[in-house]
Amino acid sequence: MSETHSSFADNAIKKHSGLKESVISIINSVLRKENIQTLSITGRIKDKKSIISKISRKIYNDPSNQMTDISGIRIITYFDSDISKISNVIKNLFEIDYANSLDQISKLGNDKIGYRSVHFVCRLGENRSHIPEYTEISDLVFEIQIRTILQHAWAELAHDRSYKFTGSLPVDISRKINLYAGLLEIADKGFNEIIENINEYSSKITSDVDVDFNKEEINTLSIKEFIYRINKKYNIELNNKTAKERNFSTTVNELNKFGLNLIGDLWGIINDEFIEKFIASEGKVFHLLGFFRDSMLYNNIDRYFEKIGTPFSHLTEKDISFYSEKYGREKVLRTIKSYGVDIDHDMYEWEEEADIEDDENF
């Protein structure tokens, strides 16, 4: 073992350890600011034995510049479309050695299937060299690899020696490997198309005029836009920002069971009269699930229990008073009693109960 190589490895590991943490922190900060989600951002440092072995094997005379993979950062993202977004961020953040960087996806060509990722060789660069904490590491070379979840899964399988996916294999096995690698690639593109469809639909319903929006089916995306329009129209605050996604799903499910399938159907029960009565009873700030349940109960209390049953076990005195304005107290009490619903005198919160029930059913 060369003493020079050994000393280089020790020094490199120390410097690259600090570099790795700095690079991860920089990338995390910018991606959060750009609202680009990732599954994980991790780093690794080559061990001393691997560094010395590669220097000897490659006969490097300037390992600090020639050896680009002492430290590496791996970014795993959800969708294929995020790879280009993250790549643009990386290009703006760091000094890129384009000659040694590669896009494995392009390298494979149109007729090849297999290991796919985008790979950059980088330095922090001169722009950060004057910052004290980066002075000693600004010129170090490191690698960044960007993959989707499915690309990562395939690469890990293909490169794990215990699975023996690579090498010269029988033709029928090689064909199967290519087939299933292709299926993963199709799935990757499929998920990307789905997220694009969701974004297009969200843009469409937020820009459409009321007549077109009223024809939209009730789903978790359209109900959020409906909430926005209700808040704007009546100058109220239907609090959906802290509501969990399962509350939206529960809301849509109950509305459908009640017989409401289009946004236009909602305007039939959530009208000026209901809003006026509801504000008088609850004020201008109220919760997602309770609001829509109240609208259905106020519209037709018998239909609600017949179609939906009893997803809650209690109503409050305040609720009883609200429904009694339309049906009379005796009718309300008789109805809820027949369905086994009690009166909670401690102002029981529906949304809290819904969360508990969902947790129990999870």
Single residue among 127, 153, 179 that ends a domain in this structure: 153
CA-to-CA separations, 23 to 17, 50, 58, 149, in angstroms, rounded: 10, 22, 27, 21
Asked if residue 177 is part of any domain, the answer here is: no
Are 222 and 330 in the same domain?
yes
Are 148 and 7 in the same domain?
yes
Are 8 and 135 in the same domain?
yes
Count up the domains in the chain and report the number.
2
Asked if residue 198 is part of any domain, the answer here is: no
Find the domain containing 311 and state its range. Answer: 208-361
Single residue among 122, 137, 153 that ends a domain in this structure: 153
Are 37 and 142 in the same domain?
yes
pTM over 0.95: no
Are 227 and 338 in the same domain?
yes
Cα–Cα distance, 125 to 240 (Å, whole number): 45
As a whole number of Å, the end-to-end CA separation of the chain is: 58
Which residue, among 270, 318, 339, 272, has the nearest Cα to 298 in the 3D structure? Answer: 270
Asked if residue 166 is part of any domain, the answer here is: no
pLDDT in tens, the chain (362 residues): 455 889 999 999 999 999 999 999 999 999 999 999 999 999 999 999 999 999 888 888 888 888 888 999 999 999 989 999 999 999 999 999 988 887 644 554 444 445 567 999 999 988 888 888 888 898 899 999 999 999 888 888 777 655 666 667 788 887 888 888 888 889 999 999 999 999 999 988 888 666 688 999 999 999 989 988 988 888 887 765 556 777 888 999 999 999 999 999 999 999 999 999 888 887 766 778 889 999 999 999 999 999 999 988 888 888 899 999 999 999 999 999 999 998 876 544 444 444 434 443 33
Are 125 and 230 in the same domain?
no
**CATH code of residue 87:** 3.30.460.10
Q: Specify the 3-state DSSP secondary structure of 40.
A: strand
Single residue among 136, 153, 170 that ends a domain in this structure: 153
Farthest-apart Cα atoms in the chain, separation: 94
